[in-house]
Amino acid sequence: MLSMMVAIRFAHPEERAKGFLLLARTGTVRTLRGEIYVCSEKAVAILDSYRIPYTKVPLPVNQDEVDALRNTLTTAL
């Protein structure tokens, strides 16, 4: 699954709004800190077809670790 995922960052706020909307319509998109969006390579191809500028960035963490952090139960001390 990770090999098919790409992390990107949009160049400008206007493109970020348009790009995020396109990504959300085409499938799953995850938003990480620092305005980093993780989506499929297929979704990135759609951004290319609409000529929305972005920069590919390295994935900051392993996606499985992100899932574990988000799905961890909280406990009251």
Q: What does the pLDDT read at residue 61?
A: 58
Predicted confidence at residue 1, as pLDDT, reads: 47
Domain covering 2-71 assigned CATH 3.30.410 in the classification: no
pLDDT at 26: 86
Averaged over successive runs of 10 residues, the pLDDT of the chain (77 residues) comes to 78 91 89 88 92 88 54 52
pTM for this model (two decimals): 0.70
Taking CA atoms, 47 is separated from 21, 26, 66, 74, in Å, by 10, 10, 25, 37
In degrees and rounded to multiples of 5, residue 34 shows phi and psi of: 85, 20
Domain boundaries, the chain: 2-71
